[in-house]
Amino acid sequence: MTAARTMVGVAVAAGMLLTAAPALRADSAAPTGNAADFLNGINCPDPDASTTPCYNPNASGTKFSGTLSVVYGKTSGCVYNVYINLTLQQGNLLLPFTTDYLNGVRPHTVFGGSSCPGPGDNEVEQVKTIIDLIYLTAIPIVYSCGGSGQPACPSFQVKAITNFVSTTGPLSSPTSDGFSADVTIAVR
C-alpha cells in the first residue's frame, strides 16, 4: 500500500506541473523543442534546500512513471477551469490522481478579467498547482509524511516529459482543449 500511495502522490504532482504551459504550445513550439520548457525557472519544494529546480533530467531517487492528461474547461474561448489526471506506475501498481485548478489542493479564486474569468493563461500558477498536487497530496499519501507528528516529506523532481501531444491551436482556440504526456518523477 505504501508504494501505491507514493506513486499516486508523484503522479499528481507531475500532472500539476505539466498542466499549465504545455497546453499553450506543442513540443515543437517550445523555445528549445523540449516538452519540459514550461518548468524553466520553477522550483519544487525541498526541505533541505532553498531552491530546487523542478526539472532535472539527471534526477535521482525512487522513479515513478505515468501519463498526465490535462483538459481545459472552456466557454466562448475562455478557460474557466483546468482538470488534471495523472496515473503513475511503479512495477505492476497503477495509482490514479485527479484534481482541478479552482477547487483542488490549493484552491484558486476565479481570475482573468471580466471578459474571460478563470485561470486563463497564468501558466506559473497552473504549474504550481501541479507541483502542489504532487507534493501536498501524492507524496504524503505514498510516504505517510507531512502531517502532525509525521516526518517531513521527501522532495521530488521531474526527470522526464516525453510523448507530449496536444490539440492544435492556441489555448484561446475552441479546438485546443488539452494535452497529454508521459512523465517520470524522481522522489528523493
**Tens-digit pLDDT profile for the chain (188 aa)?**
444 443 433 343 344 344 333 333 333 334 455 677 778 889 999 888 888 999 999 999 999 998 988 888 877 767 778 888 888 887 787 888 888 988 888 888 765 555 666 666 677 888 888 888 888 888 887 888 988 999 999 999 999 998 888 776 655 566 568 888 899 999 99
Closest CA to 183 of 58, 5, 18, 9: 18
**Is 84:100 a contact under the CB 8 Å cutoff?**
yes
Q: What is the pLDDT of residue 60?
A: 96
Q: In what order do the strands lie in the sheet with 156-166?
A: 93-100, 78-90, 62-75, 178-187, 156-166
Sketch the domain layout of the chain as residue ranges.
2-187
Q: Is the pTM of this model over 0.85?
A: no
Lookup: cell for 176: 485546443
Q: What is the pLDDT of residue 171?
A: 58
Lookup: cell for 123: 501558466
